[in-house]
Structure 1
Amino acid sequence: MYSYKTLVVGTDGSDTSLVAVRHAAAMARAFDATLVIVCAFYSNSGSLLNSPNRNVSTLPVVSDNRADEYLREAEAIAREEEVTDIKLERRSGTPVNALLAAVEDTSADAIVIGNKGMSSLTGRVFGNIPTEIARRSTCDVVLVQTEDK
């Protein structure tokens, strides 16, 4: 039977990201896997034309201090789900690059990501984080339904 040993999930403090964290935590508990929770702190020019993995930046979107707050909140959710092996990682960079680097650095078997932005026109035209993760990931991608129906 196939089993996951390490799962990566990202949080930006949003309600939708915390839904993905809860799903990832439930998976980690079921597989007795390590759960790596990542929060990217990064900057953004504010342009609608920025792709999810663009490196150009000017205005802070998530500060490193705020990232720590988001990680503590996500850790509390993972503990509620009774995950025993949790690693918190604050990474500089865009969400896509930070998550993919965490996958590589931890040799993760899967990355759990919410579907936010996939059904929006802007996301379809200019790109979104879940789609870019699915395109570039070297491990399984678990897509969680996080948007209101």
Structure 2
Amino acid sequence: MGGYRTIVVGTDGSETSFRAVDRAAALAADSGATLVIACAYFPERPDPRAQDALGDDAYQVTGSAPADDTVSRARDRAAVAGATKIETEAVQGKPAETLQRVVKDRGADLLVVGNRGLNTLAGRIIGSVPLDVVRHTPIDVLVVHTT
């Protein structure tokens, strides 16, 4: 596979999503593409006790710290898999919508996601991230068998 310039991969920090990161990183390494690792999150509601006790350091127990940690771990895995141009984004929002926004903002030409939720009853009834992005993303989508 060649010709891809910007590859976006979504991760939620799960081992299955990291398998998608590994595949995307290998593709980015093979094609010389920039790999953008994206993680959607919803900030936790701040606990007033944490804010009072920790002050400016309260973000470490609320908010986007877990998403930042997730993309950092994914970056490390991508580097091991051979990707050299790696960027990360922790973006507030629903996963499928967030991935589509990152794809558009970055002008990506490939989106990589894992297949978790794709073949479940809940995924068929209420939708899943891979199903939603396949239906609504106007670029190539690679669904990696991760489960």
TM-score (norm 1): 0.83
Matched, 1:40 2:40: yes
> How many residues of Structure 1 are paired with residues of Structure 2 in the alignment?
130
Query: Which one-letter code corresponds to 2:96 in the other structure?
Result: V
Whether contact under 8 Å (2:7, 2:24) holds in the other structure is yes
Structure 1 distance, partners of 2:74, 2:4, is 20
Query: How far, CA to CA, are the matches of 1:127 and 1:3 in structure 2?
Result: 31
Question: Greater strand share, 1 or 2?
Answer: 1
Query: Hey, what's the Cα distance between the residues in 2 that align with 1:138 and 1:130?
Result: 14
Unaligned runs of 5+ in 2: 45-61
Where 2:91 maps in the other structure, the secondary structure is: strand
Structure 1 stretches lacking a partner, 5+ long: 45-61
What's the TM-score once normalised by structure 2's chain length? 0.84
Taking the TM superposition and a 5 Å limit, the aligned residue runs for 1:105-144 are 105-144=105-144
Bigger radius of gyration: 2
The aligned counterpart of 1:99 is: 99
Segments of 4+ moved more than 6 angstroms: none
Provide the C-alpha distance between the structure 1 equivalents of 2:31 and 2:63, rounded to a whole number of angstroms: 33
- Listed one character per residue, the Cα deviations across residues 58-93 of structure 1 (whole Å, up to 9, x for unaligned) are xxxx94110000011000001101211001111110
Cα distance in 1, alignment partners of residues 82 and 121 from structure 2? 38
Question: Deviation digits for residues 114-136 of structure 1, max 9, x if unmatched?
Answer: 00011111111111110000011
Aligned residues of 2:110 and 2:140 also touching (Cα < 8 A): yes
1:1-149 pair list within 5 angstroms: 3-42=3-42, 63-147=63-147
